[in-house]
Amino acid sequence: MVLFPLNSPKKAMEKAHLLDGSVGVLAGIVLGCLEQLESKDLGRAVAFLAKMIGHGPLAVQFVGKGLLDPNRMRRLLDSSSPKEATLGALMIISDLALMDKGFYEFIDGASILDVLRGFLSHEDRNVRAKACNALGNMCRHSAYFYDSLARYNMIGLLIDRCADPDKRTRKFACFAIGNAAYHNDMLYEELKRSIPQLSKLLLSAEDQDKTKANAAGALSNLVRNSNKLCEEIISKGAS
């Protein structure tokens, strides 16, 4: 199989089609089979698909064949689907977002922001954690999704997740908030409310070092692009 850099998924899709059409055929077959499965049988299939997406050329081909079609993604993320299918779909979104910013427009086109918003308050801790991680990766490379975070009122929910009873959810919520502050100060005013909780996590004896590192990084990013929150951070003793 020919490998190529993912600096442009659109161009990579064209190259993959020319260099290894068999991969595209495979992607089409897998997605076609997925359509034939009943919702109750989707769990293992989506978990397997999520593992395949971790390979760059396969990811390009699957996206090119319509993996992120809005109807398909909503089916996988629907409450009637097995939890394993939902978690697998969230992993796919997160991995694609992590892989390359060129996938952002395809994720945006999947029209799942309102679903992700709901998952931030989901009863299952694993769903909450994976939703936070996906949103963090969706803000990792650029500010592409900042407007969507504001439009769908997600910032407040992410801040609430920093106090989640689940450790992994807290860790990924801090990660998402840090990336939501990294590229510019567009969301600073909304993110202001996170400062007390981030400061609290720095002193927590319960949380992992990675969570504390994410909290520290988020606080650092809240002064990265402007000084409008400096006084607030100092007043909370996080400096």
pLDDT of residue 105: 97
Those residues with Cβ within 8 angstroms of residue 161's Cβ, 6 or more apart along the chain or in another chain: 120, 128, 132, 169, 170, 172, 173
pLDDT of residue 3: 34
Which residue, 130, 103, 150, 117, is CA-closest to 9?
103
Mean pLDDT, the chain, rounded, equals: 87
Cβ atoms within 10 A of the Cβ of 108, count? 15
Most confident option among 29-33, 41-45, 233-237: 41-45
The DSSP result for 127-170, as a single string, is HHHHHHHHHHHHTTS-STTHHHHHHTT-HHHHHHHTT-SSHHHH
Better-scored residue on pLDDT, 197 or 61 = 197
In the chain, % of residues over pLDDT 90: 64
Q: Taking phi first (over 0 means left), then psi (-120 to 50 degrees means alpha), and beta for anything else, what does residue 237 get?
A: left
Which residue, 42, 20, 18, is CA-closest to 31?
42
Helix (H, G, I), strand (E, B) or coil at 7: coil
19 has a pLDDT exceeding 60: no
Which residue, 123, 134, 180, is CA-closest to 155?
180
pLDDT of residue 43: 86
Given pLDDT bands bounded at 50, 70 and 90, which one contains residue 124? very high
For the chain, the first-to-last Cα distance in angstroms comes to 51
The pLDDT of 22-27, averaged and rounded, is 64
pTM higher than the cut 0.85: yes
Rounded Cα gap, residues 169 and 161, in angstroms: 7
